[in-house]
A and B are shown apart, each in its own frame.
Chain A
Amino acid sequence: MAPNSLPILPSPHIGSWLDAHAGPLMSWCVLVAAAAIAGHLVFRLSGFPRMLGYTVVGLLAGWLGFGDLPWPLQGNTQVLLQTAVGTSLLMAASQISLSWLLRQPWLLLQSLAESVAALVLVTGVLQLLGMGWAVSLGVGVVAMAASPAVLLRVVADLRASGAVTDRSLLLATLSGVYALVLGLVITVAWSPAAAVGVGAEDALASLVLTAAGLGQLLLSLGLTVLWAVLTTVALWPVLRWQSSRSDSTALYMLAALVAVSLLATRWGGSAALGFLVAGLLLRNMSPKPLVWPSAFMAANTMLSLLMFVLVASMAGQVVPSVGLVSVIAAAALARLVGKMGGVLLLGLGTGLGWQRQWPVACAQSPSSGLALVLASALAMQWAVVNTGVAGALTAIALPMVVLCEVLGVLLASLALWRCGEAHRGIGLSALNAKEKRHDA
């Protein structure tokens, strides 16, 4: 399987037809409009977050052949996704107080435990299913990442706030840090054994540490730090300026983030990790609160819409088979068990009671753009050496990401409602029950 072509289901090819007759931009216009309407309907009728609608439209788009997107992600699509994921990571990381976190060893332990448990369980299950070390570990790293972007959208749509909400976002962001660092190490310094032919046995290759990769790793880490510093330097003055709430500030910020994404795409390093580190630096280099322009938040909402559509449309192109479905289901289940088990087992001592740990655990189940970035980076790097490994990784990771996204959004929403931190006065049923009042 070539790296830029996934197995395609027999489909009506409406997307390809539209691409050919009206151009790819028109396809995207149709797609974005459909996603926005579907999201609105989902939210209005069920009260669940809009992203469920975006995901459904994305899956359909993938099946109908919209967008003509390359895999692994390249060019503008890659920059778009890096910026969308990075913006959410930046905002989520800018809420983490490192000094507070370092005084909470139990919390750090809990965060490490849930991420490592997801990695180990997913890798172990796939290894038991005979997928080979390279594919198993690759999917394991993708599974480590929870989704700050999903949580930010769930929180915004359900107007959630409180200890569970804050803790959930914190753990999701920390798991993103671990996944991005480990992803960078594995992508750059390790490589699957070279392909011997074009066959299923190639997908069972093991990982080998390459001597050249170590130098490359140091370079990538250095570049990532450089992107973090650049982002911080670019955003620091405007987030501290007294009049930083203007629309022009938001435009400037977006331009800066896209520019850094472009630099990372061209020169290497991880833009997403760079944005995340920038968020930490911005939050912790001064005690003064950051004031985000509302236009920037709106831009983040739109970028998130594109990201959710993109994630689902990539997965929508993968051929489902009974064997593949069971492998994906097993990986998703292992991920869920790992994440929930890690949070619940080490919940004591983190300042939140036992009953409040359940919703936090549920909120770690979504997966989305960050996981897609990791999967794309792994597929891109490994396809050069072993296309079988890259293909198998893609075929498992992409549907798993979408499955976890949909189930995760449902679980996280229900958990936040159940613990009383999310607003219930949304949706048709709430309207009928007269709950859309101030006292709902």
Chain B
Amino acid sequence: MTLEAFQQSDALTLGVELELQLVNTNHYNLTPYAPDMLALLKNAQVPGSIVPEVTTSMIEISTGICRDAQDALQQLTTTRDALVKAADRLNIALAGGGTHPFQQWHQQRIYDKPRFKEITALYGYLTKQFTIFGQHVHVGCPSADDALLMLHRLSRYIPHFIALSASSPFVQGQDTAFDSARLNSVFAFPLSGRAPFALHWEDFERYFDKMTATGVIHSMKDFYWDIRPKPEFGTVEVRVFDTPLSIERAAALAAYVQALGSWFLSESPFEPQEDDYLVYTYNRFQACRFGLEGTYVDPATSEQFGLREHILLTMQKIQSHVPEGSREALQQLRKTVNDGMNDARRLRDAYGEAQQLPEVVRQSTLRFRGTE
């Protein structure tokens, strides 16, 4: 199979995908209601799509093409409200968060769909351990080469994305001491990590052809990279975000990617280098482990920053590239960085108060439906 051609898309348009948790309203554990939810939502009028995910306690929503944060939030609100209505009918609830705090992976069930069965056949128990919840942000690129340039430039900011969205401190009932433990599950997959360093589409095509010739992959979907090109949409897809607890934060994170992209396209502030990736895994670990309190090694200068400090510096740099409809969202995001308040901290604070993880999940469901 050859790599499909990179489609045209309007530069800097956005698309947001959210993987969501379906939870019972009694014990707030994950509950396998995806088939019933999808049946109820079959004719729902929503801007994007609502589709199943790998296990039956998950559901994925996506927006259509968005101009800015405001547009994304409007679309997400419409879909969220439809989901909440259906969930209310079934007496379940939806929650954000990168992991469910106390679900047991072995209790999950694979959704009855050929692709998910194939993945299970290949990866064994890893598939059920993949009951984790991420946000993907697509950003439109004018051309295939621009997309690769965008991809490798955005790679420097992967720690930002992780720390800002981190919402998975608890796994299997334990505090992991990570702000984003979700990405540790992704690392178990052999085709995870970073994309190969190729700045021209022909080089990337050659790499793809070699990989398909080995029989290891069949399509772009088989790569679980942190950022990957999405030729059929004409976008680059950032995949490291934990699903935030609220759709407002999801829209703000998308706006941050968009503003970075706009900065790259209009100012070409730096040329990506293969050596950027020398500190990539270390920076990534720092963001996962310590969130906004992690350290950040600048790949170009090797200078060390506090991650929070580096995010605030970057926000300063891109301020003039933020479109009108995203200003408020990014202002809110900056405020949470100043306060050191990502969703992981919010979840830990909730646990500190309640001392019971089911109550933490209940509060997350209220936050997702916008009533907290």
Interface residues of A (CB under 8 A from B): 94-95, 97, 100, 103-104, 159, 161-163, 166, 242-243, 283, 287-291, 351-353, 356, 420-421, 438-439
Contact = CB atoms under 8 A, between A and B. Distances in A.
Given A100-B91, A161-B31, A161-B32, A242 B26 contact: no
Nearest to A291: B356
Contacts of B25: 97, 100
Contacts of A421: 32
B106 A438 contact: yes
Interface in B88-136: 88-91, 106-107, 109-110, 112, 120-121, 124-125, 127-128
A102 to B, nearest CB: 12
A288 B91 contact: no
Interface in B121-157: 121, 124-125, 127-128
B31 A162 contact: yes
Contacts of A288: 354, 356, 359, 362
Contact of B362 (A104, A166, A287, A352): A287
A353 B86 CA distance: 13
A161 B26 CA distance: 13
Given A100-B88, A166-B91, A242-B355, A353 B24 contact: no
Interface string B161-185: 0000000000000000000000000
Contact of A283 (B26, B39, B90): B26
Nearest to B27: A289
Nearest to A287: B362
Contacts of B90: 163, 351-352
Interface of B: 24-28, 31-33, 36, 39-40, 56, 88-91, 106-107, 109-110, 112, 120-121, 124-125, 127-128, 354-356, 358-359, 362
Contacts of B24: 166
By CB atoms of chain B within 10 A, which of A95, A352, A438 has the most? Answer: A438
A289 B26 contact: yes
Contacts of B112: 420
B36 A352 contact: yes
A439 B356 contact: no
Nearest to A243: B355
A288 B362 CA distance: 8
A162 B32 contact: yes
By CB atoms of chain A within 10 A, which of B28, B56, B356 has the most? Answer: B356
Given A95-B26, A283-B26, A438-B106, A289 B36 contact: no
Nearest to A355: B39
Contacts of B106: 438
Contact of A94 (B26, B33, B91, B362): B26
A356 B128 CA distance: 25
By CB atoms of chain B within 10 A, which of A100, A103, A162 has the most? Answer: A162
A163 B34 CA distance: 10
List the 8 shortest-distance A-B pairs measured between CB atoms, nearest first: A242-B355, A289-B358, A163-B36, A351-B89, A95-B26, A438-B125, A162-B32, A439-B120
Contact of B33 (A95, A163, A287): A163
B32 A159 contact: no
A109 to B, nearest CB: 15
A420 B355 CA distance: 34
17 contacts: A95-B26, A97-B26, A162-B32, A163-B36, A242-B354, A242-B355, A283-B26, A288-B354, A289-B358, A289-B362, A291-B356, A351-B90, A352-B90, A438-B125, A439-B120, A439-B124, A439-B125
A124 B125 CA distance: 54
Nearest to B28: A289
Contacts of B39: 353
Contacts of A103: 88
Contacts of B125: 438-439
Contacts of B110: 439
A291 B358 CA distance: 8
Contact of A162 (B33, B89, B128, B355): B33
B40 A351 contact: yes
Contacts of B56: 162
A97 B107 contact: no
Contacts of B32: 161-162, 421
A420 B40 CA distance: 18
Given A351-B36, A352-B90, A438-B128, 4 more contacts: A100-B91, A163-B33, A289-B359, A353-B36
A104 B90 CA distance: 10
B88 to A, nearest CB: 7
A94 B354 CA distance: 20
A200 B163 CA distance: 81
Contacts of A291: 356, 358
Nearest to B56: A162
Contacts of A289: 26-28, 356, 358-359, 362
Contacts of A97: 25-26, 91
A240 to B, nearest CB: 9
Contacts of A353: 36, 39
B356 A242 contact: yes
Contacts of A104: 89
A288 B350 CA distance: 13
Nearest to A101: B91
Nearest to B123: A439
A356 B32 CA distance: 14
Contacts of B128: 438-439
B222 to A, nearest CB: 19
Contacts of B91: 97, 100, 166
A353 B42 CA distance: 12
A186 to B, nearest CB: 32
A288 B356 CA distance: 10
A83 B106 CA distance: 33
A415 to B, nearest CB: 16
A127 to B, nearest CB: 38
Contacts of B26: 94-95, 97, 283, 289-290
Contacts of B121: 439
Nearest to A103: B88
A287 B362 CA distance: 9
Nearest to A240: B356
A439 to B, nearest CB: 5
A104 B89 CA distance: 8
A270 to B, nearest CB: 24
